[in-house]
Structures are given as structure tokens and as C-alpha cells.
Amino acid sequence: MKKTIYLDNAATTKVSKAALDAMLPFLHERYGNPSSVYSVGRDAKEAMETARNKVAQAIGARPEEIFFTGCGTESNNWALKSVAAMRKEKGQHIITSTIEHPAVLNTLKYLETQGYEVTYLGVDKFGQISLDALTKAIRKDTILISIMAANNEIGTIFPTAEIGKIASDNGILFHTDAVQAAGSIPLDVRKLNVDLLTISGHKIGALKGVGVLFIKKGLKLPPLIHGGGQEHGMRSGTENVAGIAGLAAALEYRVSRLPQDNLTKKRDRLIEGVLKIKKSAFTGDPVNRLPGIASFVFEAIEGESMLLMLDAFGICASSGSACSSGSLDPSHVLLGIGLPHEIAHGSLRLSLCEDTTDEDIDYVIEKLTDVVDKLRKMSPVWQE
Ligand SMILES: *Cc1c(COP(=O)(O)O)cnc(C)c1O
């Protein structure tokens, strides 16, 4: 079989051993419904509460502040739509950044159709917002700030604690999409001053289709999903017991491995090697960046072609252009950091994991160098 080097861990991860071990008993033996009164059900309920404790502990929260959801997208929808509904009388203005994940941006676009006003804060070339601009954007009717903890395309880590302080000083609720940050950098909801925080299972070594929303105690958020009253009436639907147990185990494992110094070293080795390619540049914040994400742009290269050629060498990577929507528009994140369209088209994100070896990195640098060279030789716009 052809060797596969998976460097797209920011898109999804394989289920970790920790998560798999935690999940297996709940699939075939301890499969009860947590709402049932008999012991198999109580057993499942207990597993859920153990998982809730673990997640709470991993982010410095209390167990009653942890709510399990169907995915990161759902958690973001719940946070934004419910705060908007709850605070409508107080105001209808929300602040975010231009480089959020579509799960935040498109939810806010929807809220705009419902009469809410959204300010999209621009970012600098590293993908950072200005705290000064944030403070200036605050109005009397601002009800919510939603700014991600770290960006999924360029790995930039935002100053979440400072943003949280500005929000709380002004009596504004603060939500952070921490899907990429969770398990990669330390997160403490109290130190960060966050009211709402989103986590997704499949980005941290657990299943697709399970997520978390942290809701600070005292915040009476209306539910997004109504039904049988699970999760204290806040998120109905029979709980994904195995998935939840897996998410908690995966997060606990990741947090126990922080800080990810080894991963950071490998990432930097990869960056150093790739930047030896002519007319290549690094994207994102050189210092405040996630340990596992290396991102680049190459002049006179079309991202899709690069991905296909890398795939032929067994290398899985991603490019900001095209992506899920199937459109050929370059990524809003790369345009957001000020790259011109033609440069943004030649983007590449390599996201590593614990299993990535030095040999993998050498192989990727070698093949990528060849691929870029080949594509440029065929390109009408490339000039040495
Ligand atoms: C993947 C991702 C999401 C969406 O999470 P799902 O569980 O796939 O719905 C949201 N935000 C960021 C930053 C992500 O990387």
C-alpha cells in the first residue's frame, strides 16, 4: 500500500487510542440510554457525568457549565443565536473578526437578516486584531463579542484573555470558538474571561459529530434544540454517550501533553525546509501560533493542482482556496490578512500531529519542492 502522510489534522484527526478505549464499552456492552432508570441506563448516565467532569477540569470550568452538542458548528450556532435572542431588548450589535470559521460568519450573516448589526474587525498581516479597534467598535447596544481563540487556516492565536477583559469591563458577553485551540494550547475559562466557549470532538482526536459548549454559570441561555429535556433541558436529544466519553478522554489526553514542545519543534523544522523554496512565504503569526499548523503561500502556484500532485505522493494537505464550497474564491482568511487574490490562490496548510515523524517532514519538504518546481515550469506566469 502507498504510504500516507496525513498533514491535515486541522481538518479532522484520527480517533486517538485514549478516545477509542473510552468509547468502545459504550457501543456494544454498556449501551443504555442515560435517561433510563435501570442499571444499564444509570451506567451510561454515570459515564456522561465522568466525561463532563473531565471536560470541565480540562478548561477550568465547573461540570454544570459543560453542555454536550452535536458538533462545533452547533455549539457556535447555539451561542450566537441564543445570546442574540436573549439580549435583543438590550441591543442588537455584535462584534467579530473577518477571519472566523464559516460556522460563526454564516451564523452572523443569518442574524443580520434578522435585524442584528455585525461589526467585522479587520486583521493585520499576522491575522491579529487590534485591541484598540475592538474597544472603539464597542457601542451602547453591543451585546456580544465572538472572536476565535485560534485560527484554523493560519494558526494565529488571538489574545483571548485581553479580549475577555475588554468584554467583561464593558458588560458584554464573550464567546470564543476554541475548536482549534482546545487541546493545543492551555485554556482556562476563568483566566480568559469567557462566557461561552466551543469545542469539537473530531479536531482533537475524538469522533466527528460531537461537541461542547461551555456556558458560564448564571447565564440563562435559551436552548437551540428542543425536545426530551436532556442536558438539563438545554440540549435535547438522546446523548451520544460513546462519542462524549471519547471526546472527554481525547481532551484529557491532549491537555496532559501540553505544552506541545515536540510538535512545535517539528512544525518549525517543516517551516524552515519549506521556506527554502523560492518565492514562498509563511502566513500567520510567527510567534503566537498553534503548535501544529504550518501555512504558506507560493507565487505562481494554483493550490488545487498542488494538492492533487501532493496526493499522488501520498501527502494529505489543504489549501485555503476552493475548499468545501467548491468555489474558486480564495480563502477569506488569506484575503483578510491582506494577500492579493493571485497569491492567496497558491496557499498550502500543513497541519501536523503527535505521530508526524522527522522522516515524514523530510519527505514532504522534498516532494513539495519538486511539485512547486514542476508546476512553475508549466505556468505561463512564472518567471525565474
Ligand atoms: C472545524 C471547525 C469548526 C466546526 O466544527 P465541526 O465539529 O466540524 O462542526 C468550527 N470552528 C473552527 C475553528 C473549526 O476549525
pLDDT along the chain (384 residues), means of 10: 88 97 95 91 94 98 98 98 97 98 98 98 97 98 98 97 98 98 98 98 98 97 95 96 98 97 96 97 96 96 94 93 58 94 93 96 97 93 81
Q: Tell me the whole-structure pTM to 2 decimals.
A: 0.96
Ligand 1 centroid to residue 117 C-alpha, Å? 24
Q: Which atom of ligand 1 is nearest to the CA of 74?
A: 9
Q: Which of 177, 240, 247, 318 to mutate to test the pocket of ligand 1 (most atoms within 8 A of CB)?
A: 177
Tens digits of per-residue pLDDT, 202-221? 999 999 999 999 999 999 99
Q: Which of 71, 187, 203 to mutate to test the pocket of ligand 1 (most atoms within 8 A of CB)?
A: 203
Ligand 1 centroid to residue 362 C-alpha, Å? 29
C-alpha angle 128-178-25 in degrees, rounded to nearest 5: 160
Pick from 154, 194, 153, 202: which is nearest to 177 by CA? 194
What is residue 67's predicted lDDT score, i.e. its pLDDT?
98
What is residue 324's predicted lDDT score, i.e. its pLDDT?
47
Cβ neighbors of 127 (< 8 A, separation 6 or more) are 99, 151, 154, 156, 283, 284, 285, 333, 336, 337
* Mode of pairing for the β-strands spanning 93-97 and 142-146: parallel
Q: Which atom of ligand 1 is nearest to the CA of 211?
A: 7
What is the torsional sign of CA 50, 54, 55, 59?
positive
Ligand 1 centroid to residue 282 C-alpha, Å? 23
Q: Other C-beta atoms within 10 Å of 28: how many?
A: 8
- Is the shortest distance between the CB of 180 and ligand 1 below 6 Å? yes
Helix H or strand E encompassing 215: strand 211-215
- Is the shortest distance between the CB of 148 and ligand 1 below 6 Å? yes
Which residue, judged by its Cα, is nearest atom 5 of ligand 1? 72
What is residue 173's predicted lDDT score, i.e. its pLDDT?
98
Tens digits of per-residue pLDDT, 228-248? 999 999 999 999 999 999 999
What is residue 383's predicted lDDT score, i.e. its pLDDT?
81
Helix H or strand E encompassing 186: none
- Is the shortest distance between the CB of 73 and ligand 1 below 6 Å? yes
> Is 316 a residue of the active site?
no
Ligand 1 centroid to residue 256 C-alpha, Å? 22
What is residue 321's predicted lDDT score, i.e. its pLDDT?
52
Which residue, judged by its Cα, is nearest atom 14 of ligand 1? 179
Q: Which of 80, 97, 99, 101 to mutate to test the pocket of ligand 1 (most atoms within 8 A of CB)?
A: 101
Q: Active-site residue among 71, 316, 323, 353? A: 323
